[in-house]
Chain A
């Protein structure tokens, strides 16, 4: 590490994106870390303001009201997320779909036009970016921390996280069947990790809480996969791929490979499977 005089470590947390976002930075003078962390939180707050489904003034709110009738200009970040969402939609054979809020409509109706304009070909389409925007917000915070020359950092938005620095970070993944226990440890180095599944929200309930992931093919909640954890180069991709893996299970191999990602799934029968590229990074509780 760096000399003791600049070996400050700081952890801060703010309520953003509907969860607690924690940023930990070390290896720089305290004042520099404070400024970088505040700027990183500001970036996350901006993503929240742009992509919130609930806030009428967000890009998502404006798109859902107007893009069925006319092209709507959005922030460049919103465009980037939509572009990635459409790519994921195609590569996952429709398993990832930000257009789940519309009646029978899919992401195929979303048209990205020049100059950050977006139009919906089907006026019935509504989009919800909550399955990808949290990961994007983590990536934005990481970009800000890198731009401030922070040597080592970790950003964790309620379990969707990314880290950079000279050494790997050890991440503790909760057991979806009993969130008071840890399922495994996984090391993350200059990459991202995201998790999704039953049980993570139900701290006391014995029965698994209904998952938020809906299979577009059936319109029903996913059942066969109880939980998925994905490691990928960016948190936006890791976040989105957890939804693909929740739906496609071990059938998600090709899409995982395309995005240079690895996954670990807990299936409904209690068995645990992981892609071979996670071997060496995972330590499982027996």
Chain B
């Protein structure tokens, strides 16, 4: 039968607040454009925001860059539309969060006790994989709806 082990309650953790920003860059705008329309050339319709994707004079669709507030920092994302204004894909380009900065602080790292027998744990590494997080994607969903409202006017 599986036994349970009682770990020391890390009560002191609750008192501290970290405010350092953590950003994840997934794709640049050119990378995301290439991803959405691999063989296309792009011409700007609205500077830094809306592009037409074409190949050999044929319209393939539109690429729209937008930015919404996440928890309280910006999320950059891009929507690719087909020539009829339907969504082909929605891709997150950059995600910023205002926590997680403590992982770089030596005093925080020093708190880790009960050294694991597994050498796989890299305490000094960046925050790459966070579990226990339900990051709100609601604002991106709302942003995509706003983009769909202007989509019929794109030519």
Which residues on A are within 8 Å of B, measured CB to CB? Answer: 11-15, 18-20, 22, 24, 34, 38, 41, 154, 156, 158-161, 167-183, 185-187, 189, 193-195, 197, 200-201, 203, 227, 229, 250, 253-254, 256-257, 262, 270-277, 279-286
Contact, CB under 8 Å: B10 / A284: yes
- Residue of A at shortest CB range from B129? A171
- B56 sits at the interface (CB 8 A): no
- B148 sits at the interface (CB 8 A): no
Contact, CB under 8 Å: A270 / B131: no
Among B71, B92, B123, find the residue whose CB has the most chain A CB atoms closer than 10 A.
B92
Which residues on B are within 8 Å of A, measured CB to CB? Answer: 1-14, 16-18, 24, 26-27, 35, 71, 77, 89-92, 95, 98-100, 102-103, 108, 111-118, 120-123, 125, 127-137, 140-141, 144
Q: Which of B17, B103, B131 contacts A171 (CB 8 A)?
A: B131
- Residue of B at shortest CB range from A276? B3
Q: Could you tell me the distance between the alpha carbons of A274 and B13 in the complex, rounded to whole angstroms?
A: 19
Q: Which of B7, B17, B98, B125 contacts A272 (CB 8 A)?
A: B7
Query: 9 other contacts beyond A171-B129, A182-B127, with CB at 8 A cut-off?
Result: A160-B131, A170-B129, A172-B103, A178-B17, A229-B131, A273-B4, A283-B114, A284-B114, A286-B112
Contact, CB under 8 Å: A193 / B13: no
Q: Return 5 A-B CB contacts under 8 Å, by A number.
A: A11-B26, A173-B132, A183-B132, A203-B71, A256-B2
**A19 to chain B: which residues have CB within 8 Å?**
134-135, 137
Q: Could you tell me the distance between the alpha carbons of A253 and B1 in the complex, rounded to whole angstroms?
A: 7
Contact, CB under 8 Å: A285 / B112: yes
Contact, CB under 8 Å: A201 / B134: yes
Contact, CB under 8 Å: B16 / A280: no
Contact, CB under 8 Å: A276 / B1: no
Contact, CB under 8 Å: B112 / A283: yes
Contact, CB under 8 Å: B99 / A20: no
Q: Could you tell me the distance between the alpha carbons of A229 and B131 in the complex, rounded to whole angstroms?
A: 9
- Report the minimal beta-carbon distance from B14 to chain A, rounded to whole angstroms: 5
Chain B at the A interface: SS class: loop
Contact, CB under 8 Å: A161 / B131: yes
**B4 to chain A: which residues have CB within 8 Å?**
250, 253, 273-276
**A38 to chain B: which residues have CB within 8 Å?**
35
Q: Could you tell me the distance between the alpha carbons of A250 and B141 in the complex, rounded to whole angstroms?
A: 38
Contact, CB under 8 Å: A229 / B2: no
**B135 to chain A: which residues have CB within 8 Å?**
19-20, 158
- Report the minimal beta-carbon distance from B87 to chain A, rounded to whole angstroms: 11
Contact, CB under 8 Å: B131 / A173: yes
**B92 to chain A: which residues have CB within 8 Å?**
12-15, 20
Q: Known interface pairs A170-B121, A181-B102. Does A195 touch B10 (Cβ–Cβ under 8 Å)? A: no
Q: Could you tell me the distance between the alpha carbons of A280 and B118 in the complex, rounded to whole angstroms?
A: 6
Q: Known interface pairs A169-B129, A179-B133, A187-B121. Does A13 touch B2 (Cβ–Cβ under 8 Å)? A: no
Contact, CB under 8 Å: A14 / B91: yes
- Residue of A at shortest CB range from B25? A11
**B118 to chain A: which residues have CB within 8 Å?**
168, 187, 280-281
**B91 to chain A: which residues have CB within 8 Å?**
12-14
Contact, CB under 8 Å: A170 / B125: yes
